[in-house]
Structure 1
Amino acid sequence: MKHTYRVTGMSCDGCRTKVEQALNKVKGISAVVTLEPPEATATMEKHIPTEKLQEALSATGNYTIEMSGHHHADEHNHQRTKSHDAHPNAPHHHGTIAEPLPKDSGGKYYCPMHCEGDKTYDKPGNCPVCGMDLIKQPSLRKSAKYTCPMHPEIIRDKPGACPICGMDLIPISADVEEEDKTYKQLLRKFKIATVFTVPIFIISMSEMIPSNPLFKLMDLRYWNWVQFAFSIPVVFYSTWMFFERAWRSVITWNLNMFTLIGIGAGVAWLFSILALLFPGIFPDQFKTHSGTVYVYFEAATVILTLVLLGQLLEARAHGKTNSAIKELLKLAPNTATKIVGEKETSVSIDDIQKGDLLRVKPGEKVPVDGSIKVGEVTIDESMISGEPIPVDKKPGDKISSGTINGNKTFTMLAEKVGSETLLSQIIEMVNSASRSKAPIQKLADKISSYFVPVVVLISTVTFIIWAVYGPEPSYVYGFVNAIAVLIIACPCALGLATPMSVMVGVGKGAKSGILIKNAESLEKMNAIDVVIIDKTGTVTEGKPSVEKVISTDAGLTENDILQRIISLNGSSEHPLAQATLRYGEEKKIDVQPVSNFEAITGKGVIGVLGKENLALGNEKLMEQVKAKINPDLEKQVKAEQKQGKTVSYLAIGKSAIGFVVISDKIKESSKEAIQKLQKEGLQVIMFTGDNEDTAKAVSETLNLDGYKAQMLPEDKLKEIKHLQAEGKKVAMAGDGINDAPALSQADIGIAMGTGTDVAIESSAITLVKGDLNGIAKARLLSHKVMGNIKGNLFFALGYNVLGIPIAAGILYPFFGVLLSPMIAALAMSFSSVSVILNSLRLRSAKLD
């Protein structure tokens, strides 16, 4: 069983780790703790009292734990409710129906290493844990601004004419002003650092030139003072932030790359100050042939400037990792054409209200979610679904914001605006998933927690060994190599290995119509053994149509039977019910009021029409209401079911007096997708509430590995638990309310984007197009992301394993090779950049 608990008292990722470790020490429990929201999800064989969990946490720190408002899996499925305000295709967060996002949710900043989980900050700055620059989360809403193409200094909040030249103002994105702000700031500091560091470097290197021309101008001791003067802007302006971060890391004991940089460059710079002011306190080993003490202003400033260069390159690369979100943001237009009476006016996207009538012209983007009112058009939905083939739309069909109109004008009704649109929900889901942690990151976190103290220890040992056993001047050798060890070590590369791959991978998935709720599901998808699929709406198109209605009662015509069927179904939202209602409209048969209506999950519906007790559904419903099915009627139904069609009996009182035949075409892509999954060694099994004959016909057509028919929601749930008990990793794909329990229980729940809110809310992955090919794509994406993460971790760890011994001087006794601290700084900076660039390769990964 699984329970979700609310945990209070956590303020950072360190707290989260302590709480998680404490809970996992309790016998019989496996817990996963998140910071945002502050919750613990615990899996246990039998119920463990909350008091016992509280005891474990109290021994660790000032934390409290209490049962959360919702339970997991089978315990909370009965409490689920359907949100009528949410978009039917919109992704939701696990455990709650997605709510509209606040208007200012875009003005947030987060740490690229996700040190504090999903925590965000209102202002730019650097992470209080690792010290890295915070990254701006792309805005979910775009406030339209307008400018003149001839006079860009003119900026207005509304469309109109330029007051200077009279040209129409054109929209610009408000995000342009924010874009690359961190990069530009770092670039300015880097330029200043370079201007002052280059002269220091030239002065220091000039000592190697025979008959040094600089020494003809003045002695070395005075040039040392010049180096000191030039180093002040570098240390106290351009790179002072590194020392601030190093100090904060020490007092909070969140040791990171800036701890090592601060110690290494800081010691070199302070040593040089002492050498200038008090040269007499140093032994002769530290002095040059001219009597001055060796100074390291050049080493300190070059190291700091190169680290700054690394930060600059990282800032540029970070902008590319969330490019998928930025591209999604660009899909939404800034303005729309609103119809008011007989007039058309251009309005900001933020001013559109539900119920507004909008006109979309050829080539324009659909501004908000809604339905077509007038016109038959072709819509390019590739930016949402990942499928390149345009889709034909007619009046009444749903359309989504960001999709592109073809070559005809149409009128639409606005139904979902702002943060309620599918596009906004996708962006929010991608944002959230990009900031989540994959289980594999626990390895990197554990290594990182020991990394800095071990490096400081190795640096100290390096100095001692060189001072005792090294050649003269041994102290100088020891000092330089100790600094090189501190500088070359890069925990940053280790910390970035997982989040960068996850961010790019989640963005890649979104562009391909695969919405991933969190990094854990992305990782788990790679380990799946069995894929369970539903039939209606998953294997089939989910657009059932009535083929015929049969009456076996001589006193009732087919239209009489049909009227009773559509009257019962008038209160149902099931796809099969909607199919009968459409058929009734075509036959021009009126829906009659029904009392005591009740939908019986997995069986059908019952109600009272006039004085008749009606029941419409499968054999199980007939058994429940004790309705007799005569042999001739049963024979006719079996014949239809063997052809893969769905049949519902209609009973009046205790007798079944007719049936309706409904067919739902198998998706053209289903067979191809199932073959792809089977080629990868996965078992594909169908669970359906339909009868045995229909299920068998569909299974044989698709060549499935197995099927189970006439399954109620609890049957699907039990079967998945049974497979998991056998050690199988199960993915479940479904689209209906009755799939929600199974989707929650499965290791990976996959919802068809064309399905219900509850199915989507219960799943870890949503396929926007509702196509089984998306499962094959999701698995391939998972495989590529996990491979990329492992490559990053190998690169980061391998780099440090090789780099630290070389910096310590292990090659000197054999080859006479030493690593300059400046080269170490350059290598350290590029190690992080290399991890990011390797992650960016996922953007071009092929998922077909």
Structure 2
Amino acid sequence: MRVVKEKLRIIGVDCPACVYSINKELSRLKGIIKVDISAVDGTAIIEYDVDVVGLREIADAIRRAGYDVEKNHLTLTLPIDEEAIPQVEERISGLRGVFLCRASPVTKTAKISFNPYSISREELLSELRRLGLSYEEVSAEKIKTELEEKEERKQLWVLIAFALGLFAVVYHSVGMLYKHPPLWEYRGELLFAVATVVLALSRDTVTNGFKSLFKLTPTMESLIALSATSTYLISLVVLASRPGSQEVFFEASAGVLGFVGLGKYLEARIKSRALSLIKTFEESQVSQARLIINNEARQVSVSEVRPGDVIEVKAGEVIPLDGVVVKGWGYVDESMLTGESRPVYKSEERRDPVYAGSTLINGYIRVRVTRTGEDTVLSRIIEAVREAQYIKPRYQMLADRLVGRLTWGVIALSIGTFTYWLLAGETLFKSTIFMASVLAITCPCPLGIAIPLATSLGTYISIKKGLVMKRGDVFERILEVRRVYFDKTGTLTTGSPVLEDIVIKSNELSREELMMLVCSAERRSEHPLSRAVMSICESTGMITVEPERYDNLQGLGIVSVINSHQVVIGTERLIENMGIAVSDEDKEEIAELSGRGYTVSLVAVDNTYAGYLVFRDKIREDSRELIEYLRRKGLVTGILTGDRWEHARLISRELSVDEVHAELTPEEKADIIEEKARSNEKVMYIGDGINDAIAISKAHVGVAVSNASDIAKQAGDVVVTSASLLSIKELFELSKAVMNKAKTNLAWAFIYNLTLIPIAMGALYKPLGVMLMPEQAAIAMILSDISVVLNSTTLLKHLGRAHEKKESLT
């Protein structure tokens, strides 16, 4: 046991109730030995076994209680390779006082969150130097801006390289096979100029390829670089030693890099689309808050608010930052956080937590801010989505590994071919030609575009079908799914309650008279159940009157006076508190409905029980067909919801879902998914709210539906932009077609290469006098590219079955 004592400052603590909530969450962690928290300023001394629990887990537990810990952040550039990232993160996260280290292979940076009460910034930098890490401090915003600008420039250069490479190949092919184009007698010099420009525009590919080769870990870029530069250099030597010679093959070099550039461009377009969605989301967030200074509210930018500051929120406003209520009360719409359509009562007495993005429906609250900037859930999810754009499909990584091994074979074959023909008595030039042909024919350009082209076309088709892919490996991951979990509210259901029945229990009031009183009483309320009532009132043309008196009782219901009649609508508790008698038979009837998942509001007129209203969450019309399709595929279906068990069971019975889990927190949803993952069961999760964001991000495939919160959309691997859930059915069918096409592309590329390599080596030269020139080898390679492109375009037949796109992603 290694016991560590850590001093923290917990933000938002100002009462014993706060301390109790935090202690309750920390007590659930193993390894916690002692906790001492000051209710005055939030200072905490925590003793824990560092071998059992870490500082990050402690901070996460405090966050679950609705608070946060004060932390500082450090962003550094580190010269790290992708394979070294786990070791770097582990080494830095293991330092005392460090909450979390996240390193990025994309930006070559590490973001470190640390506790300023146990380690200073200077001490942390000293520890990094002791670990042997070289670094440079830089702002996160600068890194993000530079990365976006670099990506935009790279896309432009790659597209130009493809255009020039295509020109070189077409120019040479037309001249060789059909008719000499203009300047044909100077084709060597012309193609030299084109190839030189393409080589310069593709310097990243060439440089990275040779770097990997020199490290003895060649990748696909290594073979591309080797093939393109060898044909370029051999042609350059020929052109320099024999001016005017046309026995050059610069078009092979330009074509190789140009077609690989096409694959890179298509991949970049997918990434830039997803990243633009993230940028739009960031810009759409609440940017202003009213900061309380000397008991007066002042409008400020959200970026100016610090943890511990107090802000005010009025009815109808979106809460701009996470925090706890320190003054006032109100009903908060957290439907995108909990999945529960009914507003949640928040008050200062209980120091209830509130979250950015939720809406205060009525009331007035002051909130002590606990999380801002990079510490918010939104910022963490946005960063994770940014990194997700750079994940390669596993089939692409397999191709990279195969090409890495192939590279050594190609180098050996080319050297062996050169040596063989030289020893066989052929000239140096002819031996070099054989070697160049081997390098040209074995260029993995078809392998480079085989997977990106299929997935890019699949992505294009998916958009037309009402789906947006946000990972490069979504199509293959979907085919591995064996279990599909749904959120209930807003996913399988519409998310809004509907009035299903009105039961009259009074002999003195007709249905129309009771409905007139109910509609008049509900007209002032913004509660979802009231809106469901008013929807029926308006659709039936019910005439209503202005209440003479109206009282909204927190968490209970409303009391109103209509035409001198007292009308009470609300919970059974409200009716009982007002001394209104309800028979045992009626109570059993109401309890039976509640047990089946319905919501019941009781109605009393003039202190006499008059009946009740029955509400339910309406099931989406396409939910049943989708679940039937999934079950026919042999997939297990289930519901994970924060709603009550009664409501969840009602929906699961009607839709014939295999299993149901209810009354879950967002973390508990994620825990269920992770538990399945540990047993190697691949789960798809489909949801729509903030409460689903964690589960969506943890799932093997996370899907956010059309009405999803922005956070859920950013966390999802797939966003359903159409109004129909049946787009998910299309997703499974399209994924199967895309991956079949990717596999056939990959297989064809390998078979084509392996077949032509012996010919390029000169296997037919002695018996038949057939010699494959490097430019012919390049044309053969390009024909392989064309065959891959044509095979991939057959995916477009799926567009004929695409659903009409009815909504656009915002």
Partner of 1:239: 195
Partner of 1:680: 633
Partner Cα distance (2:133, 2:741) in 1: 36
Letter in 2 for 1:267: I
How far has the Cα of 1:609 moved from its partner? Answer: 7.0
Task: Kindly indicate whether residue 642 of structure 2 is the aligned counterpart of residue 670 of structure 1.
Answer: no
CA deviation string 1:147-194 (max 9, x = no partner): xxxxxxxxxxxxxxxxxxxxxxxxxxxxxxxxxxx74x6676667657
Partner Cα distance (2:618, 2:257) in 1: 55
Task: Kindly indicate whether residue 466 of structure 2 is the aligned counterpart of residue 510 of structure 1.
Answer: no
How far has the Cα of 1:662 moved from its partner? Answer: 1.7
| More deviation, 826-835/442-451 | 442-451
Partner of 1:35: 106
Letter in 1 for 2:250: L
TM-score normalised by length of structure 2: 0.56
Residue number among 661, 665, 684 corresponding to 2:614 in the alignment: 661
How far has the Cα of 1:687 moved from its partner? Answer: 3.4
How far has the Cα of 1:478 moved from its partner? Answer: 2.7
How far has the Cα of 1:459 moved from its partner? Answer: 1.7
Identical columns (%): 23
Letter in 2 for 1:795: W
Residue number among 531, 542, 552 corresponding to 2:484 in the alignment: 531
Partner of 2:234: 267
Q: SS at the partner of 2:624?
A: helix
Task: Kindly indicate whether residue 778 of structure 2 is the aligned counterpart of residue 825 of structure 1.
Answer: yes
- Structure 1's 52 and 742: CA in aligned 2 closer, same or farther, altered over 3 A? farther
How far has the Cα of 1:764 moved from its partner? Answer: 2.5
Residue number among 454, 460, 481 corresponding to 2:415 in the alignment: 460
Partner Cα distance (2:473, 2:629) in 1: 23
How far has the Cα of 1:673 moved from its partner? Answer: 1.6
Alignment of 1:811-822 (within 5 A): 818-822=771-775
- Tell me if structure 1 keeps the 8 A contact 2:224–2:257: no
Alignment of 1:73-84 (within 5 A): none
Q: SS at the partner of 2:152?
A: coil
Partner Cα distance (2:751, 2:132) in 1: 37
Partner Cα distance (1:559, 1:685) in 2: 38
Partner Cα distance (2:795, 2:598) in 1: 43
CA RMSD of aligned residues (A): 5.9
How far has the Cα of 1:268 moved from its partner? Answer: 4.0
- Structure 1's 564 and 271: CA in aligned 2 closer, same or farther, altered over 3 A? same
Residue number among 393, 396, 404 corresponding to 1:441 in the alignment: 396
- Structure 1's 509 and 549: CA in aligned 2 closer, same or farther, altered over 3 A? same
- Structure 1's 693 and 635: CA in aligned 2 closer, same or farther, altered over 3 A? farther
- Structure 1's 191 and 510: CA in aligned 2 closer, same or farther, altered over 3 A? closer
- Structure 1's 660 and 765: CA in aligned 2 closer, same or farther, altered over 3 A? farther
Q: SS at the partner of 2:702?
A: strand
Partner of 2:745: 792
- Tell me if structure 2 keeps the 8 A contact 1:524–1:748: yes
How far has the Cα of 1:499 moved from its partner? Answer: 2.1
Task: Kindly indicate whether residue 186 of structure 2 is the aligned counterpart of residue 230 of structure 1.
Answer: yes
CA deviation string 1:759-787 (max 9, x = no partner): 43443222223433222221222222222
Alignment of 1:329-478 (within 5 A): 437-448=392-403, 455-468=410-423, 470=424, 472-473=425-426, 475-478=428-431
Letter in 2 for 1:547: E
Residue number among 754, 760, 765 corresponding to 2:718 in the alignment: 765
- Structure 1's 832 and 193: CA in aligned 2 closer, same or farther, altered over 3 A? closer
Q: Which runs of 5+ in 2 are unaligned?
A: 1-55, 61-72, 95-99, 114-119, 212-221, 274-384, 804-810
Alignment of 1:38-53 (within 5 A): none
Partner Cα distance (2:761, 2:582) in 1: 87
Partner of 2:702: 749
Partner of 2:677: 724
Alignment of 1:84-483 (within 5 A): 120-122=151-153, 126-127=157-158, 133=160, 183=163, 230-244=186-200, 253=210, 255=222, 257-271=224-238, 273-274=240-241, 276=242, 297-300=245-248, 303-305=249-251, 437-448=392-403, 455-468=410-423, 470=424, 472-473=425-426, 475-483=428-436
How far has the Cα of 1:439 moved from its partner? Answer: 4.1
Partner Cα distance (1:694, 1:673) in 2: 20
Partner Cα distance (1:53, 1:717) in 2: 37
Partner Cα distance (2:791, 2:149) in 1: 24
Partner of 2:314: none
Q: SS at the partner of 1:766?
A: strand
Q: Number of residue pairs matched?
A: 579
Q: SS at the partner of 1:519?
A: coil
Alignment of 1:484-633 (within 5 A): 484-542=437-495, 544-549=497-502, 562=518, 566=522, 570=526, 572=527, 578-583=531-536, 588=544, 605=555, 631-633=584-586
Task: Kindly indicate whether residue 801 of structure 2 is the aligned counterpart of residue 834 of structure 1.
Answer: no
Partner Cα distance (2:652, 2:444) in 1: 52
Partner Cα distance (2:150, 2:571) in 1: 49
Letter in 1 for 2:455: V
- Structure 1's 807 and 713: CA in aligned 2 closer, same or farther, altered over 3 A? same
Partner Cα distance (1:650, 1:721) in 2: 45
Letter in 2 for 1:121: E
Q: SS at the partner of 1:749?
A: strand
How far has the Cα of 1:463 moved from its partner? Answer: 1.2
- Structure 1's 512 and 38: CA in aligned 2 closer, same or farther, altered over 3 A? farther
Partner of 1:424: none
TM-score normalised by length of structure 1: 0.54
Partner Cα distance (2:669, 2:75) in 1: 32
- Tell me if structure 2 keeps the 8 A contact 1:501–1:785: yes
Partner Cα distance (1:322, 1:435) in 2: 9
Partner Cα distance (1:489, 1:52) in 2: 48
Partner Cα distance (1:804, 1:25) in 2: 47
- Structure 1's 325 and 30: CA in aligned 2 closer, same or farther, altered over 3 A? closer
| More deviation, 559-568/232-241 | 559-568
Partner Cα distance (2:478, 2:126) in 1: 31
